[in-house]
Amino acid sequence: MGRIRLIITAAALSACATAETPQQTQARMDAEAAAARPAIEARDAAYVAAFNAGKFDQTSATYTEQGIQMPPNSPANVGRAAIRKSDSTFFTLGTSILSVRIVSVVVNGPMAISQGEWTFEFKPGKNTPKGMKAMKDHGKALTHWHNVNGEWMMAHDIWNADTPAQP
C-alpha cells in the first residue's frame, strides 16, 4: 500500500492549484488576508516611523532587494540603494511628516496587495533652500508585498496625489 499511498498523495498535491473551487479559493484568500493584515500594517507603520526619524537604512530594507519604488513625477527607484537615496531627499532640508493608512489587503500565499492612503507635510527650517515652500498633500497608494522567509517585503510601491498637480 506504500506505493499506492505515495501515488495518491502526489496526485492530490499536484492538483492543488485546481482542487479548490473558486469559492474555496476566495474563502482561503479572505482568511489569509485577515491573518496577514496586522503584520502588513505593522510593516507600513514601521516604515513611516523610520521615514519620519530619518532612518533610511530601515525604510529601504522594507523593500525586497530588487524592490521597485514608483514615486510620482520621478522615474522609478530600483533596489535599496536607489530607494534609500530617494527617501532621504527632503530629510535634511526641513521637517517631513508622513502618515499612511491601509484601506484593504488581498493575499494569496506569499503574495499580497494593499491599497493605502497617505498624507505628507513638509515644514521648512533653517536648512531649507530659498524658494522651497511648506507643502501638505494627500493621496492614495498601491503596494505589492512579497513574503520572504516569513516577513512581508515591498516588491512594488506606487502612489499619487488626490489633489491637482502643483509644480
Selected from 25, 52, 58, 64, the binder of its own copies by CB under 8 A is: 25
Q: Does 13 bind its own copies (CB under 8 A)?
A: yes
Selected from 109, 129, 130, 133, the binder of its own copies by CB under 8 A is: 109
- 147 DSSP β-pair partners: 152
Q: How many residues does the chain have?
A: 167
Which residue's CB is nearer to its own copies, number 13 or number 126? 13
Choose one: 37-45, 83-91, 121-129, 152-160; the region binding its own copies (CB under 8 A): 152-160
3-state secondary structure of 70: strand
Under the phi-then-psi rule, with left for phi > 0, alpha for psi from -120 to 50, and beta for the rest, what region is 37?
A: alpha
Task: Kindly determine how many residues on this chain lie close enough to bind its own copies according to the rule CB under 8 A.
Answer: 49
Q: Does 105 bind its own copies (CB under 8 A)?
A: no
Q: In terms of Cα–Cα distance, which of 50, 110, 118, 114 is closest to 84?
A: 50
Q: In terms of Cα–Cα distance, which of 114, 108, 137, 90 is closest to 32?
A: 108
Site string for its own copies, 119-148 (x = CB under 8 A): ---------------------xxx-x----
> 9: which residues sit within 8 A by CB, 6+ positions away?
none
Q: How far is the CB of 149 from its own copies (least distance, A)?
A: 8
Give the C-alpha separation, 30 to 36, whole Å. Answer: 10
CA 125 from chain center: how many Å? 30
- Are 129 and 118 within 8 A, CB to CB? no
Selected from 45, 46, 113, 153, the binder of its own copies by CB under 8 A is: 113
Summarize as ranges the residues that interact with its own copies (CB under 8 A). Answer: 1, 4-5, 8-9, 12-13, 15-17, 19-20, 22, 25, 28-29, 32, 68, 70-76, 106, 108-111, 113, 115, 140-142, 144, 149, 155-156, 158-167
